[in-house]
Amino acid sequence: MDSTVTAPETTRSGLLSGWRPWIIGGAATLLLLGIFFRSSKKEAVAGGGRPVPVSVAQARKGDMAVRITGLGTVTAINSVTVKSRVDGQLLRVAFTEGQMVREGDLLAEIDPRPFQVQLMQAEGQLAKDQAVRDNAVADQKRFQSLVGQGILSRQQLDTQNAAVTQYEAALKADQAAVESAKLNLVYSRITAPTSGRVGLRLVDAGNMVRATDAGGLATITPLQPINVVFAVPADSIQKVLGQTAKEGRLPVEAWDRDLRARLALGALAATDNQVDLTTGTVRLKALFPNDDKALFPNQFVNARLLVDTLREVVIVPTAAVQRGPQGAFVYVVKPDATVELRPIELEATDGDETAVKKGLQGGETVVTDGLEKLRPGAKVALPKPAGAKG
């Protein structure tokens, strides 16, 4: 009786153990299919339905300046090395390093006593030869009278005339020696040959200085006005020359190295007469008043030369302009917040602004940031106006 009771239980247990792998496998398959469809749904929503955040700007119509930018160096009009013209001991230095001086200001003084002695000697020799010449002139007059009376021969008078001439020549040499001694005395006071800023002192008081010293005492560099020498591509030189012939002196702006701040405003002063074969550029020189001393010699600046002004053109930010195999294009935002790829024809670019010749109208909205995520027809999320809530 016990065997009849346990037989069905054994059969049921065997059946369950046979179906168990199929049940587990089916459940795993359903779980994987659920995960797959859910991820596909997320991808579909992320790829097609979510707008792309972008920054935009409005194309405007107006005038745009066309400039040529070139890296330049600030150079002084004339930099002077102050040297001594005479040999002697440097008694004192009358300037402070970095001081602004005017032409004629005292810079240093050399011991003047040796030159005072030379002057006294030259003046003494001049007085001595002056007395000898005066005596010879007196004898000349007496000889002329005696020759007229027939007491002296003509030859003696000619000899005396030659002596007077010789003494007069000696007087000229003595006078030159006096003037030379006076000049050396003047040179013992070293004055500024030009106005400008004095550099670092190269010789201290107490040292012997000579006219042949190579280094000199200091340098003077004028700051007002000042030049900027910069280079422009050789392809642009005809435009520069043409505008110069029509407009005269073209305006030039000096900007800092990052093109963020304008330092000074000047005008084109000169154009080089040849192209630099190593760089393919032409050097230009601009003159700046430099009233606020913003420019400093040997400073690197960006020079921006105004060569033209475009009137009533469509202007967009340069960041909005993209380039592809077919040329330049922009993404234009349509009223339904989708973008359109619009081919354009460019006229000129000046820094952050670009003039569009064809393909765009004033007032249209173009994308300036987020361009790498866009495709034609994509929806975009426009930035909220300033002050808008939530």
Among candidate residues 219, 299, 212, the one with its CA nearest the CA of residue 264: 299
- How far is Cα 132 from Cα 95, in angstroms, rounded to an integer? 48
In the chain, alpha helices (H): 2-44, 113-149, 154-187, 237-247
- How far is Cα 322 from Cα 318, in angstroms, rounded to an integer? 9
Q: Tell me the fold of 68-77+222-309.
A: Elongation Factor Tu (Ef-tu); domain 3 (2.40.30)
Q: Name the 3-class secondary structure at 266.
A: strand
At 333 the pLDDT is: 92
At 26 the pLDDT is: 62
At 3 the pLDDT is: 43
Q: How far is CA 78 from CA 95, 97, 222, in A?
A: 20, 19, 7
DSSP string, 222-233: --SSEEEEEEEE
- For the chain, the structural domain boundaries read 52-64+311-381, 68-77+222-309, 80-220
- How far is Cα 119 from Cα 102, in angstroms, rounded to an integer? 29
Cis amide leading into 114 (omega within 30): no
At 309 the pLDDT is: 87
**Backbone CA torsion sign across 335, 340, 344, 346:** positive
Domain 80-220, CATH among 3.50.50.60, 3.30.70.20, 2.40.50.100, 2.130.10.10: 2.40.50.100
Residues of the chain with pLDDT under 50: 1-16, 36-37, 39-47, 387-388, 390
Task: Describe the chain by its helix, strand, coil percentages, rounded to 5.
Answer: 35, 35, 30
Among candidate residues 287, 285, 300, the one with its CA nearest the CA of residue 224: 287
40 contacts: CB under 8 Å, gap ≥ 6: none
- How far is Cα 383 from Cα 52, in angstroms, rounded to an integer? 11
Question: Tokens standing for 93?
Answer: 């230095």
- Domain 52-64+311-381 CATH class label: mainly beta
Q: What are the CB-based long-range contacts (under 8 Å, 24+) for 352-355?
A: 352/317, 352/318, 352/319, 353/64, 353/315, 353/316, 353/317, 353/318, 354/315, 354/316, 354/317, 354/318, 354/320, 354/321, 355/64, 355/310, 355/313, 355/314, 355/315
| Helices 113-149 and 154-187, packing angle to 10 deg | 170
Q: Name the 3-class secondary structure at 260.
A: coil
At 18 the pLDDT is: 55
At 347 the pLDDT is: 87
115, 181 contact by CB (below 8 A): yes
- How far is Cα 129 from Cα 123, in angstroms, rounded to an integer? 10
Q: How far is CA 76 from CA 79, 201, 273, 286, 316, in A?
A: 6, 19, 21, 11, 39
At 140 the pLDDT is: 87
**Letter for the amino acid at 199?**
G
**Letter for the amino acid at 334?**
K
Question: What digits encode the pLDDT tens for the residues 136-169?
Answer: 999 888 888 888 888 888 898 889 899 999 999 9
63 backbone dihedrals φ, ψ, rounded to 5°: -95, 145
